[in-house]
Amino acid sequence: MADYENTIYRARPAVDAEGIDQGLRSYMLRVYNYMVVALVTTGVTAYAFFKLAFTTDASVGVVAVNSLYFLTPFGQSIFATPFAYVIMFAPLAFSLFLSFKITSFSWQTSFALLIAFSAVMGLSMSLIFAMYVAADIVRVFFITAIAFGGLSLVGYTTKVDLSPMRSFLVMGVWGLLAASLLNAFVFESSSMDWIISVVGVLIFGGVMVFETQELKGIYYETGGTGEVADRAAVGGAYVLYVAFINMFMFLLRLLGNRQE
C-alpha cells in the first residue's frame, strides 16, 4: 500500500468550507478517473488476451479446458508451459514494486507505471473468462462496483480517525497473500479457500474505506495541488484499484459459477 504516514487531517483556514468541498470533490474525482482508466485497461487487456488464447471451436483448439473452451495454439504456448507461472506471478512482483516506489516518481511516470501494471494484471485475469460463467462475471463486477461506491462514501464522510487501521490492514494483506499461496500450492482446501475469500472481501473493503479518508487528509494538507498531491492522487488510485480487483476476485470465487 502506498505510505502516507505523515498525513495530517486539517483544512486550511484561508479556504471556506464550500471551497474545500468543491476542491476535495475535484481531487477525489481525479483519483477515481485514474482508477477507472486502470480498470478499463485491465478489462480490455484481459478480454483481448482471452480471445487469443481460448476458443469454443474444437477444430481450432488443441487442449480442452472444460466442456466449452479449448486452448488455441497460442494459448497452449502460454498456459501449458512454464510461462504460465510468469503470467501468474508477474502482477504480484509488479505490485510489490509499486507499493514501495509509486510515489517516488513524477506523477506522469507513476501513472504510466499504473497503466502498465493494470495491463499485466489483465493478462493474468484473462483466465476468468474461461473459468467462470460470463453472466456471473458481469454480476460480480457490478456488485463490487456498488460495494466500492458505498465503502468509499463511508471513508469520505466518516468523522472517525481510521489511521489506527493501517497496521491491521497491512498485516491482513500480507497474511492473505501467505494464506493464498499456501492453499494454492500446499493444502488445496476448498474450505480454506472459502475462508480466505470471505476474509479477503472484508480486508479489501477496509482498504477502500481507509484509503479514501487518507486521500482526504492529503488534500487538506496540500490543498490538492503540487507535485506531492499529484503523486498521491496516482498512488491512491493504485491502492483503490488493487483493492477493487482483489475484492472482485474474492467475490467471484464466492459467488461465481465455474464452467463445467
User: Is 34:239 a contact under the CB 8 Å cutoff?
Assistant: no
Angle at 109 between CA 41 and CA 31, to 5 degrees: 60
pLDDT of residue 100: 87
Q: Which three cell numbers stand for residue 151?
A: 465503502
User: Is 233:27 a contact under the CB 8 Å cutoff?
Assistant: yes
pLDDT of residue 7: 36
State the DSSP H helix or E strand holding residue 92, giving kind and residue range, or none if neither.
Answer: helix 83-101
- Rounded CA separation 214/165 (Å): 11
Angle at 98 between CA 96 and CA 104, to 5 degrees: 135
pLDDT of residue 152: 96
CA-to-CA separations, 49 to 76, 118, 161, in angstroms, rounded: 13, 13, 43
Which residues, in sequence order, are CB contacts of 127 under 8 Å at separation 6+? 50, 79
Q: In the sheet that 54-55 helps form, which strands lie side by side, from edge to edge? A: 54-55, 70-71, 63-64
- Rounded CA separation 54/68 (Å): 10
Averaged over successive runs of 10 residues, the pLDDT of the chain (260 residues) comes to: 37 44 92 98 97 94 92 93 91 92 91 97 95 96 98 95 93 95 91 96 97 94 88 96 98 93
Q: What is the pTM of this model?
A: 0.90
User: Closest by alpha carbon to 117, among 45, 192, 22?
Assistant: 45
- Rounded CA separation 55/66 (Å): 11
- Rounded CA separation 177/167 (Å): 16
